[in-house]
Structure 1
């Protein structure tokens, strides 16, 4: 049997566009590569679509995308979660246009076909015209395979793919650590803001595992915090690390003492949280509860990248949605403590606004850097993106391979998975 022929881009087979220490710039700029990614990457792996808190009750839903394909994430009356293509089986109109909400059914606004929460077709107006040629059981909303881990909901078009737990592999323990920031309360998505930047989706994928840029790009942010926080965030060259966790996933540990938020509770409360601690104590929380809550408010000391579309970063989800080869939409979802103290959730929101918010000191600077990468990538016809930082010091670990905190190990991990999927 002949081996499958690889598509050729820029006069190179797709497998030659990614090497161990570099990636070809055409990965940012070639529309044909982007179209292949939507099929070979986003249709052939597990893709994050929601957190369970976003569809907490029967009938609750959110709309999202798998690649560019619109989906509805919904919980039915039996508490089962479904991910359904947002497309009426009659003439393809979307059956839901709201970002989130609660409903008893989905009804196509074009011809009135109605669907139950599990996607089954329940009603068709004026059915007599169909005679015996329409069996409603043949036309449910198309459902993707769904699995969850740690409250995170993933979907895939493939029925023959490995179980989600196997796909996540060593990343599972980092998800468990990340969810400790509820301080004993359930994690809840407390809202999100969305924006688009004129650049390829992989530029943002790289950013969440890139500590090298932090002191330069985020100089204005560092100048806006107190001296103690600034020292804590001076992690480039510190004891942190980046680790390849397999299947494109990686973790970047910036502040090792904040890996496990249940550890070091006896450490002094940071200056920026003393007022919050006093407010929590005045509400009657014990000293241990105060320390646990305050420690959780600041978030975890690591970024977890889950290939291909979500990062668990500090105290928020960063979700990327590819739009075109040179446009990407970002969703920043702040995480709160469901049922937790109002003062703690308020502090979490203020921290989120300070860095991630549209008027914050962090994300707007990141966005400009991403835009400049896309703009610069138009220069030169056959140049490469370097991914070799930290490669000489990379070492094997129990879970994969690791190097220093400013290494590009996480990017190499993502492109290794990209290459595997694109050449499968």
Structure 2
């Protein structure tokens, strides 16, 4: 990485240089100073419901195992044997009592502790198992969302999420009184920089153009619901790079206005639910099926987007992996969860009307960004009427680029904070902390 890379050369208050999507040295700096220092989302509580459950994922470029031990604590550990660096788990998820390296048989517990190895006498007194656990990251949880960080000096997760926490609480009301659970995912890559997708989550300006095919595929009532660009919604900077875009204000709190008419497209579902549930509960379920009226962007890698989780992972300066994770009601009616899945497939699925069009737009931004020199990426929409509220947070209309400016302010602050933390060498898994439990 060039020691001369200056992130301020790429970013102004209301615009960015196209090189921001293409510079390899800048990308290396992002991986070290953003994805190793900030809190990175790794899993949802429902991915690890029982002791012994695990998933494998990534924190930036680093492969990790997320596991729940016998005492119920969650650990996030580098997926790297302490002997010769082989990964100790290649399954995407499962249940186990230990992780055994397939190369030389070193065995680790669910908490990462080194439990056993073949022929230990060969080391004499040169090896102390207690000094060689799988390397652990800090782990904290809020409302079922599990985050990890390499940085021992990072603020608590509660502090990091800050003003985003009430919005997370609202998003989790999609459980309709039950806990929220994950219900499978659609994973794909696009040939573009990760920040292109980061910008998209709180970008309403593109919706009627990019998603015209989706709007043409739904009934008039649904079209009217999604005609929000000139509505009363807004985008707000929540601090630390987080932002919220409220598209449908009447669906921000799914437990409010339960007397509102049931949309026609959900009437058959409501009629079927009335056989087993009271009318008020049916209304809660139906509103949950339709999803929340906002997108919440949690810097740098998670979006709570209306009715699903969107997770990004940088694969390279010009390649990004996206996961669209369907969510539902854990213990709620199967018919309601099936209806949510059908809505998810309609927009987010690989044959849906939303994701392919978004991915095409992201691809075009990447290809176009290399054309010419010294041509700005504009980030100034909504500035003319952006105002600070009583809490000091900036807010503008729903089509404003307030969320993008929020993300880039944190991007710059992270890069200017200096090198990321040194990788821990001998430490074990940090104890799990469930911060701000709400669900």
On whether the aligned pair clears a TM of 0.5, the verdict is yes
Correspondence 1:403-418 to 2 at 5 A: 403-418=396-411
Unaligned residue ranges in structure 2 (runs of 5+): 418-439
Q: CA deviation at 1:57?
A: 0.6
Give the structure 2 partner of residue 263 of structure 1.
256
Would you say the 8 A contact 1:390–1:403 is kept in 2? yes
State yes or no: 1:127 paired with 2:124: no
Q: 1:203 aligns with which of 182, 189, 196?
A: 196
Q: CA deviation at 1:8?
A: 3.0
Correspondence 1:273-422 to 2 at 5 A: 273-282=266-275, 284-397=276-389, 398=391, 400-422=393-415
State yes or no: 1:8 paired with 2:1: no
State yes or no: 1:223 paired with 2:219: no
Q: Secondary structure at the match of 1:8?
A: coil
Return the alpha-carbon distance in structure 1 between the equivalents of residues 330 and 278 of structure 2.
Answer: 19
Would you say the 8 A contact 1:245–1:399 is kept in 2? no
Q: CA deviation at 1:27?
A: 1.3
Q: 1:93 aligns with which of 86, 90, 96?
A: 86
Instruction: Spell out, residue by residue over 1:108-151, the C-alpha distance to the aligned partner (whole angstroms, 9 max, x if none).
Output: 11111110000000111111111110111111000000010011
Would you say the 8 A contact 1:7–1:14 is kept in 2? no
Give the structure 2 partner of residue 55 of structure 1.
48
Aligned length: 415
Q: 1:157 aligns with which of 142, 150, 156?
A: 150
Q: Secondary structure at the match of 1:206?
A: helix
Give the structure 1 partner of residue 73 of structure 2.
80
Give the structure 2 partner of residue 145 of structure 1.
138
Q: TM-score of the superposition, structure 1-length normalised?
A: 0.97
Would you say the 8 A contact 1:170–1:399 is kept in 2? no
Unaligned residue ranges in structure 1 (runs of 5+): 1-5
Instruction: Spell out, residue by residue over 1:191-242, the C-alpha distance to the aligned partner (whole angstroms, 9 max, x if none).
Output: 1110000000000000001000000000000000110010010000110000
Q: Which runs of 4+ in 1 moved over 4 A?
A: none
Would you say the 8 A contact 1:8–1:14 is kept in 2? no
Q: CA deviation at 1:409?
A: 0.3
Give the structure 1 partner of residue 430 of structure 2.
none
Q: Secondary structure at the match of 1:322?
A: strand
Instruction: Spell out, residue by residue over 1:5-62, the C-alpha distance to the aligned partner (whole angstroms, 9 max, x if none).
Output: x9434xxx22232111011211100111111100011011111100000011100011
Give the structure 2 partner of residue 3 of structure 1.
none
Return the alpha-carbon distance in structure 2 between the equivalents of residues 418 and 273 of structure 1.
Answer: 41
Return the alpha-carbon distance in structure 1 between the equivalents of residues 358 and 234 of structure 2.
Answer: 21
Q: In structure 2, do the counterparts of structure 1 residues 399 and 148 end up closer, same or farther at CA, with 3 Å as the change threshold?
A: farther
RMSD of Structure 2 on Structure 1 (CA): 0.9
Would you say the 8 A contact 1:242–1:250 is kept in 2? yes
Give the structure 2 partner of residue 168 of structure 1.
161
Give the structure 1 partner of residue 64 of structure 2.
71
Return the alpha-carbon distance in structure 1 between the equivalents of residues 33 and 64 of structure 2.
Answer: 18
Q: Secondary structure at the match of 2:384?
A: coil
Q: CA deviation at 1:384?
A: 1.9
